[in-house]
Amino acid sequence: MLSLFGRRKAAGLFALFVGAVAAGFALDHYAGSAASWVTNSAQNVREIAAPDPVQLFGKDRVRVLVVGLDYDYDPLDQETSKHSRTDIIMAVNLDFVHHKIEELSVPRDMVAIMPGGARAKINEAQSEGGIAESESVVAEWLGIPGFDRYVVLRIDTTKDLIDALGGVDVDVENSDALTHNGANGPVDYDDSWGHLHVHLKPGLQHLTGAQAVGYARFRHDWCSDPCRILRQQQVIRSLVDRIERDRLNTLAHATALLGVIGKDIDTNMTTAEELAAAMSFSHVSMRDIHTAQVPYVGTVDLPDYGDSILPDEAKKKALVASMLLSPAERAQR
C-alpha cells in the first residue's frame, strides 16, 4: 500500500508540477524521493511504475496548456468559477529527451481573436467555451499547431498548496523594484468588490496561502498584468525554495498535498502519463527550466473589455520558436 501511495502521489503532484512549472520540478523531485524512500529502491519504482514517456505519448516532447481560473462572487458572497476567465495562461513545453522545461506566460489582457471573429481579451476564451476554446484560441494566437494536454488550476490551488506546506517565504517587492525602476515600497491595496486586501511591507517575510495569492494577484500599479506575472513567478520560486529546504516537513504534509491534488486540479493527462512525466523530470534543476512572458508594445480600448494590450509580434514569434516548437516545426515556418 505504501508503494502504491508513493506512485499515486508522484502522478498527482505532476499535475501541480505542470501547473506551477518552476515549482513543480521540486514537487516531483520530492515525490520521486518519497517514492524511493518508501520502497528503498528508486530504480525499482521507475521500472515498475513509470513507462517511458516518449513511448507513452508517442513523441519526445509535449505541449501543455496551463490555465488558472479566476472567480467571482455569487449573491451569497461565495466564490464561484461559473463562466470563469483565466487569471493564468501558460504554454509549457516538456522535452523528455533533454529533460528541459520551457514555460511561456501569456498576459491575460492580450488582444486575441475569438472563434466568432470578434476581438477580445485572450482570457475571455475560457468563459465562452471552456478549456477546449482556450486551447484553440491560445494555440492560434501563439501560432503553434496545438496543445497535446491541458491542466486547469481551480480557484484556490495556489492558496491551498502553500497552506498545505505551512506557508512560504517571499521577498515582497513592488512594481518599481520588480522592474528595476526605483526603490522598493509596500504593497498596500484594498478592493472590497474584488475581495483583494493586500497589506505587505517590503522585504522577506513568511506568508500564508491567502497572503501569497493576494501578493501574486496585485496588479494595481503602472506595470499591471506583466508585473503580476513577475509576482506569480516570484511566489513559485519561493515555493521551490520552501520544498527544497524542508523535505521532511513536506513529507509530513503529504496528506494535505494529496487533498489539494484531488480538489483543485483538472487535467486530461492519464495517471500513467502523469507518472511517466513526473519520473522523467524527477532530477531536473532550475537551470533546466526556462520561463518568459510575451512582451507588449501598446494598449487599445476594446468595447466591453476596456484597456487591453497588444503583443510585440516579432518577439512573440521568436519566443514561440525557441520555446514551444520542435526543430521540425521550426523548419516548416
pLDDT-derived band at 72, boundaries 50, 70, 90: low
Confidence of residue 256 (pLDDT cuts 50, 70, 90): low
Residue bearing the bigger pLDDT, 163 or 239: 163
**157 near 264, Cβ under 8 Å?**
yes
Report the candidate in 321, 331, 290, 330 with the shortest Cα–Cα distance to residue 142.
321
Residues ≥6 apart with Cβ < 8 Å to 87: 68, 69, 70, 108, 123, 217
Ranges 53-67, 99-113, 171-185: which has the least confidence: 171-185
Q: Measuring CA to CA, which residue among 176, 122, 131, 168 is closest to residue 151?
A: 131
Average the pLDDT over 214-241 and give the result.
74
Helix axes 157-164, 224-245, angle to 10 degrees: 30
Q: State CA 129 to chain mean position distance.
A: 20
Helix ranges (H only) for the chain are: 2-19, 22-39, 42-49, 53-57, 124-142, 157-164, 175-178, 209-217, 224-245, 247-252, 254-264, 271-280, 313-323, 327-332
Give the per-residue pLDDT at 152.
87
**Residue 122 confidence (pLDDT):** 95
Q: Rounded distance, CA 56 to CA 64, Å?
A: 15
What's the one-letter identity of residue 302?
L
The rounded mean pLDDT for the chain is 75
Mean pLDDT of the 120-126 span: 93
Single-letter code of the amino acid located at 100: K
Q: Read off the pLDDT of residues 128-146 as tens digits, 9 standing for 90 and up.
A: 899 999 999 999 999 999 9
- Does residue 177 register a pLDDT over 60? no
Is 116's pLDDT higher than 80? yes
pLDDT tens for 273-307 read: 877 887 787 676 667 878 888 999 999 999 888 88
pLDDT at 286: 66
With bands split at pLDDT 50, 70 and 90, how would you rate the model's confidence at 19? very low
Cα–Cα distance measured from residue 178 to residue 182, given in angstroms and rounded to the nearest whole number: 9
DSSP tag of 60: S
pLDDT range class, residue 309, cuts 50, 70, 90? very high
Between CA 187 and CA 208 the distance in angstroms is 16
Q: Using CA of residue 9, residue 14, residue 15, residue 16, what is the dihedral sign?
A: positive
Q: Tell me the range of 33-37, 68-72, 105-109, 218-222 where mean pLDDT is highest.
A: 105-109
- Banded model confidence at residue 184, pLDDT cuts 50, 70, 90: low
- pLDDT at residue 289 in the model: 79
Q: Considering only CA atoms, which of 232, 208, 238 is closest in space to residue 218?
A: 232
Report the percentage of the chain scoring pLDDT > 90.
27
- Residue 299 in grid coordinates: 494598449
| Residue 236 vs residue 64, higher pLDDT | 64
Task: Tell me, yes or no, if the pTM score tops 0.95.
Answer: no
With helix as H, strand as E and coil as C, how does 185-246 read? Answer: CCEEEEECCCCEEEEECCEEEEECHHHHHHHHHCCCCCCHHHHHHHHHHHHHHHHHHHHHHC
CA distance 55 to 107: 34
Residue 180 pLDDT > 60: no
What's the pLDDT score for residue 2? 30
Domain 2-163+226-326 part of CATH 3.40.630.190: yes
Strand, helix or coil at 64? strand
Cell 500500500 sits on residue:
1
Q: How many residues does the chain have?
A: 333
Check if the beta carbon of residue 32 is closer than 8 Å to that of residue 278: yes
